[in-house]
Amino acid sequence: MNRTESTTRQEATAAASQRVLVLDFGSQYAQLIARRVREQHVYCEIVRHDISADRVAELAPRGLILSGGPASVYADRAPRCDARLFQLGIPVLGICYGMQLACEALGGKVEQAPAREYGRARCRVTSHSDLFSGVGDDIDVWMSHGDQVARVSDEFLPLAATASCPIAAVRHRTLDVFGLQFHPEVTHTPLGTTILGNFLHRICGCDGTWKLGDFAAQTIDQLRKRVGQSRVLCGLSGGVDSSVTAALLYQAIGPQLSCILVNNGLLRRDEQESVLAEFTHHFRADLHVVNAEDRFLADLEGVTDPQEKRRRIGHAFIDVFREASRGIPDVRFLAQGTLYPDVIESGAAADGPAATIKLHHNVGGLPDQLGFELIEPLRDLFKDEVRTLGVELGLPTELVWRHPFPGPGLAVRCLGEVTRDRLEALRAADAIVVSEIRTAGLYRKVAQVFAVLLPVRSVGVMGDARTYDQTIVVRSVDSEDFMTADWSRVPYDVLAQISTRIINEVPGVNRVAYDISSKPPATIEWE
């Protein structure tokens, strides 16, 4: 870990005196486990499944949670943890694969289940001490496994069972090691929060004092000490992540903060004006606006491949940002609104999972190109925590709850070639979509809503004349963490109003469709 990364992690974890570590064995729910722990005001980090016992002892967590995973523990290359973890005296909770791994490591046997169990199941609780304190005899749980613990050593005490899984929960008689075959972190296990709370508070002894308000105060103090008299540069996009980053820095260093808003011609309607109004009203930071629409559109001319769009936009942004920063003296630091999911998925966490799921525009690259030291005050927070922090810092509700917007902007919602005319049509349609969703009172209920312009034309009839025009797709999703998402069940009358307005008000569009794809297998954005 380099000095910059080490310092930024210290900034984000200053308030974490009682932490819990989630060992990630490849579960799709690992981040959800961490979020559920933090919801109980206990700080949590996701780490590699093969983190050494020595490193864990150095971090001194209050508890360890072993996540689920897609592998079978008896497979040759199945991911395993350091067996010494169970002897550290730190409470351990294994979930699904994590339970199987713990039981096997301590003398049990895991086999393929006679019947795979996926979905809701009824679980009979046979012992209500510790883990199941305050839980009834029969509870609904969410199962997702093809293997199960066939038998345990005499050192284990079974705690619960389902019709097809006789050992659905266990605890070790002498060690603070617990296991759950079901997933307490998902909403389909209604009492999962209670069970996790019992582990965190009754077993691990966490007092639930981690608060974002404390995080803000300590982070501001850390930023002030680290920056000293230097200047910090922060790129603004109008999104909540960069806005909260700027707000933290402004409270820490005030006039030593310089912000740059690059108008690349790919912003939503009135985006530049909105950012200027909000930051003029709430901050007195040094704000520079760079109008680079011509540069970006010239670079995108004739380009239709999504990855090539992203590559060209990224290179152009670095060039424009570098040129703009030359006019700002004494800049030593660059601030970015990197979030915890960005760090985990990019494989950039020091103790985090090693696999790189995707490259992220906020993780690496730009600071190295510009020669600045990196500041990432939100590096260990999830999106919902960033929004809560924005409220704590006094940012306007409109800004805090603004829907996510992709780094490459409308270029990845304008499928095919990106031109001024096509962007204007897309902006107009997108503004109508958002306006009608707001009018219907749905903006805070859906996670993200936007318009997509397709590179296809279809025949229509308008004013008794034949048309051959473009198609707009409306995309609206419900999601907690944007790792998975389901399409929103927007009322038909709202969709009808959106369609009518787009066709009547947006020149060159004669057809509107609604995207009913979930993530996975689709992604939220189309490119």
| β-bridge mates for residue 260, sequence order | 235, 288
Specify whether the CB–CB gap between 110 and 156 falls below 8 A: no
What does 219-279 look like in DSSP terms, one character per residue?
Answer: HHHHHHHHHTT-EEEEEE-SSHHHHHHHHHHHHHHGGGEEEEEEE-S-SPTTHHHHHHHHH
> To which H or E segment does residue 85 belong?
none
**Any residues with CB less than 8 A from the CB of 367 and at least 6 apart, and which?**
4, 334, 336, 373, 374
- Determine the Cα–Cα distance for residues 119 and 166; give it in Å rounded to an integer: 17
- Determine the Cα–Cα distance for residues 519 and 9; give it in Å rounded to an integer: 30
Q: Which residues carry out catalysis?
A: 96, 183, 185
Tokens, residue 396: 């306007």
Phi, psi of 27, rounded to the nearest 5 degrees: -75, 140
Mapping DSSP to helix (H, G, I), strand (E, B) and coil, where does residue 339 land? coil
| β-bridge mates for residue 159, sequence order | none
**Any residues with CB less than 8 A from the CB of 432 and at least 6 apart, and which?**
451, 498, 501, 502, 505, 506
Kindly report whether the peptide bond that precedes residue 396 is cis, defined as omega within 30 degrees of 0.
no
Tell me the Cα Rg of the chain: 25
Q: What are the start-end ranges of the E strands in 134-227?
A: 138-151, 156-162, 169-172, 177-180
Structure-token match 């809701």, residue found:
120
Specify whether the CB–CB gap between 142 and 186 falls below 8 A: yes
